[in-house]
Structure 1
């Protein structure tokens, strides 16, 4: 068995920590919004109708996703022209600023619609940052990973990101247990946003210490002395890969946001489950998710990306109705249903960073992934919590489940049409 030299071990450790910590903290900043929505909705909108305020808050959650395609293009351009490290560092800085703005904002009662505007602008900034963070981090990690273990390494994106979600969910569970409803609504919800801002600044420092990838450095060395082709024209030439990214993403992003992020909030507001119990159910289910991610990543390195994606996407379509029926009004059943769903979601979540990177050449790898991926997530993932609440209140939960199944089948078709990319040499894809 060979061992790595200390410099290589140190470099890989720095890569994993710098990428993972930064990704976790940005996901924490992004997702505590959905986790704490029921507590601060009335602080940014009129509190006369709680359901209306919650829907308005979730609408801003969806609006934040509108900025993600622009972030995917902006940070994708920075990543593909100036370097992966520069894009990753700037993205966590913007995310930190958005968290500070929300955590320190005056309330609707104090400044009226100004509070709603601050919330909207802060979410747009965070949407811009998060739209650039995921493709930049995914590209960086895929390029530094050993080719034969790229699926396993790519699972770090959702492992670290979910840790950020768990910290946010666990923080909500602790705060709801320690503080009463009045304290949570008045000021308790501010704590995670302010902490998220400070954590983001720490992640910024970590990102600045990362080394640039070999694939990007080779690409820079091979660039022609003449002016580079415009980025948009290069994307158009690779439009089939971009459409595959959208198709593979639509179903998975809906079930991810429905189960991993908003399921506890939905159970609290609609099913009447105790807030603390629902939040802890979410924490435990996400721990199962984290444990499953590297397993699927390693499996994809052995049997291929496409079989793993098809097994999990079709499995989610088959279990959509049974898992929702299982929840009822029980926190225990909520946790079981979330865990089963997240085991299946873990398959695509673990390996799509590798799959997407393997579809594009180095010169547009980040922006080629970032733009179509952000469009899909903004259109379908960002609206999932709102549609889940609105369709459930208006027509009943079965309508949302039907919508989920249709989108998952679309993803299955896209996966079947995509090439098998396991083991591709990313440094030779120019």
Structure 2
């Protein structure tokens, strides 16, 4: 049986900065995180030896994965900050850190200028960004879920991944504009810097918006409870393991088909850069359009049925999508569009599902640590494995890996309690 939260309303004068600040800051995270994967073909040889293009790309993707290793620590630090000092403070700190790291990449000297020091700068910037990203998503998800009315929490939670996809889509559109207006030489020389520098500017705007936000009612009523962290995490170890099991399938399928698919199509399938980016933009628009529908459906029929539609539907369609994705942009779009429909069902309500697992005093850190571990291990390696396994063993082998993880998540969902409408206080 679910519990019903006493209805409460948020005045529109408070709601607007809360929603805009949450969405804009979260879009920045995924813009900065996504442009790395999108622009790898252009900047890889700027940070590593130019003698071998594939080696440089793989090295850059390895650093992409290393950035994820820092996420669990960042999840712990910023998640604890969110639970002790406030969601608003933690969210402001994360976007400021993300912006600084993005700007550092944009102004970094190249391998030709300073040798391996360029590679080190890229590595440090991605680790710092990984720390911040490890705390951003749990803090933002917790904040949005706590300010949402219980009966509409699934619908409201879709804003998180709408913002995520929007941020990534802006990066893809920027890549499309740059590749159409600049020559290949110009893209490799300076064009790749533009999105990282803009990320720093966007970060300043996000920090300003988040400073105008108010703290959540649930956190305020909890009174900054000083609970002992580790005993509480051990007490809720089943929920932590559930977060990992639930996240592995969604993380890998999302990174494979939403974030990294255009770059993979360019590097491995030799689809034109502009065509692959257009396919990514169009499928992302579809993804954003259907997410509120799934969120609203979960508020009516429950979280579990919608989650299972997502994982099982995506699992069934993985191999057909792989065979559909060929060497032209139209086929790439068709495959990504099918993926978008099923992926959107799950990711649209994950923020609500995660928030409904933990009590207020450890809601952010309780989610942040296991979620960051899952994303670090499985999400961070997804673009690299997609490229490496595809080149060595064939794309079908990588698809089998994704299928297995979706089955794992489906089994976890089947054993979860239904939490629709649960009281978050």
In which range does the TM-score fall when normalised by the shorter chain?
A: over 0.9
Paired with 1:197 and 1:417, the residues of 2 have a C-alpha distance of 43
Matched, 1:12 2:10: no
Paired with 2:34 and 2:207, the residues of 1 have a C-alpha distance of 19
Moved segments of 4+, more than 3 Å: none
- Name the TM-score, length of structure 1 as normaliser: 0.96
3-state secondary structure, aligned to 2:223: helix
Paired with 2:235 and 2:407, the residues of 1 have a C-alpha distance of 27
Deviations 1:283-332 (A, max 9, x none): 00000000011110000000000000011101111111110100111100
Q: What is residue 297 of structure 2 aligned with on the other side? A: 299
Matched, 1:146 2:146: no
Q: What is residue 128 of structure 2 aligned with on the other side? A: 125
Query: Is the 2:35–2:171 contact (alpha carbons within 8 Å) kept by the matching residues of 1?
Result: yes
Paired with 1:156 and 1:328, the residues of 2 have a C-alpha distance of 32
Paired with 2:301 and 2:63, the residues of 1 have a C-alpha distance of 41
Matched, 1:268 2:271: no
Q: What is residue 394 of structure 1 aligned with on the other side? A: 392
Matched, 1:65 2:68: yes
Paired with 1:51 and 1:265, the residues of 2 have a C-alpha distance of 13
Q: What is residue 81 of structure 2 aligned with on the other side? A: 78
Q: What is residue 247 of structure 1 aligned with on the other side? A: 245
Deviations 1:159-182 (A, max 9, x none): 111111110000001100111110
3-state secondary structure, aligned to 1:423: coil
Query: Is the 2:275–2:328 contact (alpha carbons within 8 Å) kept by the matching residues of 1?
Result: no
Query: Is the 1:29–1:197 contact (alpha carbons within 8 Å) kept by the matching residues of 2?
Result: no
**Structure-to-structure mapping, 1:163-242, within 5 angstroms:** 163-220=166-223, 223=225, 228-242=226-240
3-state secondary structure, aligned to 2:214: coil
Aligned length: 419
Q: What is residue 43 of structure 1 aligned with on the other side? A: 46
Note the residue ranges of structure 2 that are not aligned, 5 or more in a row: 1-7
Alignment equivalent of 1:115, drawn from 113, 118, 127: 118
Deviations 1:380-413 (A, max 9, x none): 0110000000001001001000000100000001
Q: How far 1:232 sits from its partner (Å)?
A: 2.0
Taking a change above 3 Å as real, the CA distance of residues 7 and 257 of structure 1, as seen in their structure-2 partners, is closer
Paired with 1:73 and 1:239, the residues of 2 have a C-alpha distance of 15
**Structure-to-structure mapping, 1:14-33, within 5 angstroms:** 14-33=17-36
User: Superposition RMSD on alpha carbons, in Å?
Assistant: 1.3
Q: What is residue 417 of structure 1 aligned with on the other side? A: 415
- Name the TM-score, length of structure 2 as normaliser: 0.97
Q: How far 1:78 sits from its partner (Å)?
A: 0.2
Taking a change above 3 Å as real, the CA distance of residues 7 and 345 of structure 1, as seen in their structure-2 partners, is closer
Paired with 1:243 and 1:345, the residues of 2 have a C-alpha distance of 22
Query: Is the 2:172–2:280 contact (alpha carbons within 8 Å) kept by the matching residues of 1?
Result: yes
Q: What is residue 5 of structure 2 aligned with on the other side? A: none
Paired with 1:166 and 1:229, the residues of 2 have a C-alpha distance of 40
Paired with 2:222 and 2:360, the residues of 1 have a C-alpha distance of 7
Paired with 2:57 and 2:228, the residues of 1 have a C-alpha distance of 43
Query: Is the 1:40–1:185 contact (alpha carbons within 8 Å) kept by the matching residues of 2?
Result: yes
Paired with 1:328 and 1:198, the residues of 2 have a C-alpha distance of 37
Taking a change above 3 Å as real, the CA distance of residues 264 and 408 of structure 1, as seen in their structure-2 partners, is same
**Structure-to-structure mapping, 1:280-429, within 5 angstroms:** 280-427=278-425
Note the residue ranges of structure 1 that are not aligned, 5 or more in a row: none
3-state secondary structure, aligned to 2:108: coil
Q: How far 1:27 sits from its partner (Å)?
A: 1.4
